[in-house]
A and B are shown apart, each in its own frame.
Chain A
Amino acid sequence: MRRADRSFILFICLIYVFAFSACKGENQSTERKSAEEGLTVALIDSTAHFKLYKEGTNYQLHIQNPFPASSKVEVIQLYTKEKPKQRADITHQIKVPIKRALISSTTHLGFLNGLQKAASVVGASQLNLYYDSLFQRNVRQGKIVSLGQQRFNQEQVLSLNADILFSFAVSAADYKQIERLREMGVKVVSIAEYMEGDPLSKAKWLLAFSAFFGSEAVEKAQQQIYSIKQDYQNLKELAQKAKYRPKVLLSLPWKGSWYVGAGDSFQAKFLADAAADYIWKDRAGKASIALDIEAVFEKGITADYWLNPGNVTSYQDLFEQDQRFENFKAVKQRQVFNIYKRVNAAGGNDYWESAVYQPQLVLADLIHLLHPTLLPEHELHYYQALKE
């Protein structure tokens, strides 16, 4: 090797060492121990991604790992009367109850509706995705304004002067925008409900939202969660009485690949609680996996039910996608159901809005479909059969 080459390679190595060591500095965990602050017991119904602590008459909301593979903790101090002393580890101090909220996901509206606090919403991103008719009316009347489509329109966020922006980040890249808004003085909290692994944990985010509206709202949310848990548990026990566990196939292929939730995914949890035999239940992992269409044909052709086939609403649509679907048992017996029962003209789907805090309704739908003898009286809430 020539000398020039060797020194050049050394130079490359040096640059990389430098770059990575620079990253490491940034990398240092910002995790803080709540015990140090004297907050030892989180309120019941906190989850893996949020903890709510009571501090006298105030609350402290800790958002843990606001996006995948992060170790950050956001500490939001929610006070009623006097502003407590600011500490370095506190992300925001917010006076409650809040009056003006900005949201960035249909689930945020769902939670606020669940708490009957949706009237606080003054701005939202991707307005066309929302189902709630009152929300849409407020948009038409200009009471709710757009925060942009995929990214926040910074200027709009600033000019609305809201008490809080309910946001979320799915990556470090997303989180950068949140941090930038914070630099500008916007109070932002990362709602990480989408990372929760099971339906009840998602619903528990009602509690996190309630803390922004004072102690009365918190107490009400706790009762609400209690009854949701009860209902869900009762339904789950009912389902386990079923003698036969029907085989269930999920979703729809795209260009030859079939993206399905793995065995520990959120959808798989719902199906397990509804006493169904999900055909990919033995695949380890939480994320969705891309399977070759043949692999699904082999296993799925004998499935009794086919649920959530994307946005397909009729068997004709289904056959247009792939004529071979005619051979599926679920198709032959007309047992294909989608989640498009509650959809408005603009395409907003209530499943992505209100189901997040009403998992018991989803479970009841599933049990009604999969075990017709167990819940014969139930009327489908989110699910509907495909049309011919």
Chain B
Amino acid sequence: MQRSIFFYALLVCLGLLFALNLGFGSASIGFGHSLKILLSGAGSETEQLIIFQSRLPKAITAILCGAALSVSGLLMQTLFRNPLAGPYILGISSGAGLGVAFLIMGATVLGVSVSTGISISVAAIIGAVGILLILLWVSLRLNDVMSLLILGVMIGAIATAIIGMLQYFSTDFELKAFLLWTMGSLEGLNYQEVSLVAGVCLLLILWAFVKSKPINAFLLGEDYAQSIGVSTLGLRITLILISGGLAGVITAFCGPIGFVGIVVPHLARMLLKTTNHLKLIPACMLIGASILLLSDLLSQIPGNGLLLPINSITSLIGIPIIIWIIFKKRKLSSGF
């Protein structure tokens, strides 16, 4: 009973933040007027453009981004039974970063132009999928999650090292372009891209949701899971695929976005006092989406047209939350 109230509260919160996001921006369109434009299609051409082509896709991107990264982080924490795990623990973002680094800085360093026409998202996807496939191959051969974790971190480190090398030899313009990518952005997606991201994310999250029961069993120990007929190898691969896919698609379109994926699962576990993924997955989606909407709202400094990088905001919000959880709970690993 208490839990269902909690879910309703989260839904209301999400709706409120969504409305605030659509109602406030750097353009001087009042909150009420914005909602009127949204609901009745009133307003000048420019105002409609701002609401429908800028604010709405951005708010939807924020929701997708928050939901996807939070679920991805939850699954990684479950897979490794490690409270520090997150969507990027296995080097997915480094892989995506490597793809983007080759796109932006490869031309100068390698003397061949790879950038013609390839979009940044395609480059990031190629990089992220590359890392994901290596990890899958490794997980087929190694029957140990900890070895997989260490390998994932090391593969990520190799990607980072190669990025460093590319950066060292690139021009200041290219460096800046790459640095901007690493700061993340919710802007710049058109509806086509938003629907693509939405489709992929919702499918993957649905897959995770369907697998909730075996995931719950997995959390109690691999031996236990096997004893009730769960194929642990199959489940491990499923978890890597879902989590990596979610992190990969978001990173490809928005750049790496920090801390949401680590913090939100803890928040969800603490607020719901459960480890049941049937409830944790929807809770993570709602909390993650709300946090990203809030971050996006805070990233705009009203009046002077400045936008702060979203990645810094999510970290600035996320870190105090995690510190608060640590002090409140004393021990984070109790949920595993």
> Could you tell me which A residues sit within 8 Å of B by CB distance?
4-5, 8, 11-12, 15-16, 19, 22-23, 26-28, 67-71, 145-151, 153-156, 158-159, 161, 170-174, 176-177, 180, 183-185, 194, 257, 287-288, 290
Contact indicator A170/B305 (Cβ below 8 Å): no
Segment at the interface with A among B114-122, B203-211, B220-228: B114-122
With A8-B137, A23-B122, A158-B27 in contact, is A170–B46 under 8 Å at CB?
A: no
**Which 6 residue pairs are nearest across A and B when measured between Cβ atoms?**
A69-B113, A159-B27, A27-B117, A146-B305, A170-B173, A156-B305
Q: How many chain B residues touch the partner (CB < 8 A)?
A: 53
Alpha-carbon gap, A22 to B26, bound state (A): 37
User: Of B120, B189, B307, which is within 8 A of A173 by CB?
Assistant: B120
CB distance from A366 to the nearest CB of B (A): 23
B171 and A287 form a contact (CB under 8 A): yes
Interface string of B180-217 (1 = CB under 8 A from A): 11010101111000000000000000000000000000
Q: Which residues of B contact A183 (CB under 8 A)?
A: 53, 190
Task: Report which of B29, B119, B172 forms a contact with A26, defined as CB distance below 8 A.
Answer: B119
B306 at the interface (CB under 8 A from A): yes
**Beta-carbon nearest neighbor of A67 in chain B:** B115
Contact, CB under 8 Å: A69 / B115: yes
Contact yes or no, A28 B306, CB < 8 A: no
Which residues from A are CB-within-8-Å of B117? 23, 26-28, 70, 172
Please judge, given known A-B contacts A158-B46, A159-B27, whether A68 and B168 are in contact too, CB under 8 Å. no
Docked pose: A311 CA to B119 CA in angstroms: 36
Within the assembled complex, what's the spacing in Å between the Cα atoms of A3 and B194? 39
Interface contact A26-B118, CB-CB below 8 Å? yes
Question: Which residues of chain B come closer than 8 Å to A27, judged between CB atoms?
Answer: 116-118
Question: Closest CB-CB distance, A228 to chain B, in whole Å?
Answer: 26
Q: In whole angstroms, what is the CA distance A236 to B323 when docked?
A: 65
In the bound complex, what is the Cα–Cα distance between A147 and B307 (angstroms)?
9
Known: A8-B140, A158-B50, A170-B174. A151 touches B307 (CB 8 A): yes
Q: What are 17 A-to-B residue pairs whose CB atoms are below 8 Å?
A: A8-B136, A15-B129, A26-B117, A68-B107, A68-B113, A69-B107, A69-B113, A69-B115, A70-B115, A153-B306, A155-B25, A155-B55, A158-B54, A159-B27, A159-B50, A180-B188, A287-B171
Shortest B93–chain A CB gap in Å is: 16
Which residue of chain B lies nearest to A172 when distances are taken between CB atoms in the complex? B115
CB–CB A69/B116 < 8 A: yes
Closest to A123 in B: B305
Q: Told that A158-B27, A173-B180 touch, could you supply 5 new A-B pairs with CB distance under 8 A?
A: A19-B125, A22-B122, A67-B115, A68-B107, A146-B305
> B304–A146 contact, CB under 8 A?
yes
Q: How far is the CB of B106 from chain A (nearest CB, A)?
A: 9
CB <8 Å contact, B126 and A177: no
Distance A165 CA – B114 CA, assembled complex (angstroms): 28
B26 partner, pick from A4, A155, A177, beta carbons under 8 A: A155
B40 within 8 A of A: no
Which of B104, B133, B140, B188 has the most CB atoms of chain A within a 10 A radius of its CB? B188
Per-position 1/0 for B291-315, Cβ under 8 A of A: 0000000000000111101000000
A177 vs B307: C-alpha distance when bound (angstroms): 15
Interface centre among A145, A174, A257 (most CB of B within 10 A): A174
Q: Do residues A148 and B46 form an inter-chain contact, with CB atoms below 8 A? A: no
Q: Which of B125, B133, B176, B190 contacts A12 (CB 8 A)?
A: B133
* Residue of A11, A161, A172, A287 touching B103 (CB-CB under 8 A): A172
Contacts of B55 in A (CB 8 A): 155
Within the complex, the shortest CB–CB distance from A159 to chain B, in Å, comes to 4
Q: Which residue of B lies closest to A70 (CB)?
A: B116
Q: In the bound complex, what is the Cα–Cα distance between A4 and B140 (angstroms)? A: 9
B132-143 CB contact bits vs A (8 Å, 1 = yes)? 010011001000
Q: CB within 8 A of A148: which of B108, B137, B173, B305?
A: B305
- Determine the chain B residues whose CB is within 8 A of the CB of A161 once the complex forms: 46
Contact at B119–A153, with CB atoms within 8 Å? no
Most buried by B among A27, A147, A150: A150
Contact of B104 among A147, A149, A151, A173 (CB under 8 A): A173
Inter-chain contacts of A71 with B (CB < 8 A): 116
B204 → chain A closest CB, angstroms: 17
Interface string of B38-61 (1 = CB under 8 A from A): 000000001001100111000000
Is there an interface contact between B169 and A290, defined as CB atoms closer than 8 Å? yes
B121 to chain A minimum Cβ distance, whole angstroms, is: 8
Complex alpha-carbon distance, A185 and B185, angstroms: 21
Smallest distance from the beta carbon of B296 to chain A beta carbons, Å?
Answer: 12
CB distance from A160 to the nearest CB of B (A): 9
Do A68 and B115 touch (CB < 8 A)? yes
Nearest CB to that of A173 among chain B residues? B120
Cβ A172 vs Cβ B118 within 8 A: yes
- Residue from B55, B120, B126, B305 having most chain A Cβ neighbours under 10 A: B305
| Cβ of A238 to closest chain B Cβ, rounded Å | 33
A123 to chain B, nearest CB (A): 8
CB nearest to B111 among chain A residues: A285
A47 CB, nearest partner CB in chain B, Å: 19
List residues of chain A with CB within 8 A of the CB of B176. 150, 170
- Give bound CA distance, A162 to B47, whole Å: 14
